Amino acid sequence: MPVRLSLKNITVAVKTALDEDVGSGDITTRCIARPADRAAGVIRAQAPGVIAGVLAVKEVFRQLDVRVKVRAMKTDGMPVRRGEVLIRITGPAAPIIIGERTALNFLGMLSGIATITAQYVKALRGTKTCKTRIFDTRKTPPGLRGLVKHAVAAGGGCNHRMGLYDAVLIKDNHIALAGSLAEAIRRVRKGLGSRKRCIEVEAEDMDQVGTALESGADIILLDNFPPARIREAVKLIQGQAVVEVSGGLELKAIKAAALKGVDRVSIGALTHSTPWLAMHMELE
């Protein structure tokens, strides 16, 4: 289910970013700008990609000065070309200059995530029978999870659980703590009681895949399985559970994994190491 980007997510993230950048005030702009100075600027893409983060840009300038007008030429999820104008900004000059870097930081980072996600999604389109979907993970910049998961969705990807509170995922340390995978699943079922929850299990070998199946897991995550083992696991599972693959899959390997009957591919790199989409703001 796509993460619903709340106004609170944006407001808090932007306030934190402005506090660390502006602090007690922009010394340089304070000395140069006059109260009556006005400006008009545009944000341009310096590379092709997919845009995300427009609402964050609007919030940056809203918090700095409500008189600044921000007009988006593109909305989140739309493709952009190099040199294309994405956003036009007009109003008092000082807040426009002060907010430039914070606005570009949000837009560049989130658009980078949307762009790489779109590339992974595109890699799955080699066959009409391919139903594999790209998912994100919890490997996100602290405090920005809502925004970066929104960017993944803007790029055509799917959102995994938002946090520890909204889905069950039994991982290696849970298994070690319980003593076995079967015992971990038993404890989860007991703890959930009558509450209906999808149970996902992280399997590190074929024995754990078998145990997950016998215990009735809904989703089996094949963690760092080589291609041959992925095929073996898919054959064993035979549609009895959703098959998810995770662990170091590069873009070129995604299509091959999809054709082996995998339902989901979760990729931490979408949100923890994606290059930003280059862009800049210039005054007209």
Residues taking part in catalysis: 101, 139, 171, 202, 223
CA distance 62 to 72: 14
Decide if 117 contacts 134 (C-beta within 8 A).
Answer: yes
CA distance 53 to 133: 23
Spatial neighbors of 6 by CB under 8 A, at least 6 apart, are 146
Spatial neighbors of 83 by CB under 8 A, at least 6 apart, are 44, 45, 46
Q: Is 77 helix (H, G, I), strand (E, B) or coil?
A: coil
Q: Is 123 helix (H, G, I), strand (E, B) or coil?
A: helix
H helices within 33-157, ranges in order?
54-64, 93-123, 145-154
- Shortest CA distance to 63 belongs to which of 128, 9, 14? 14
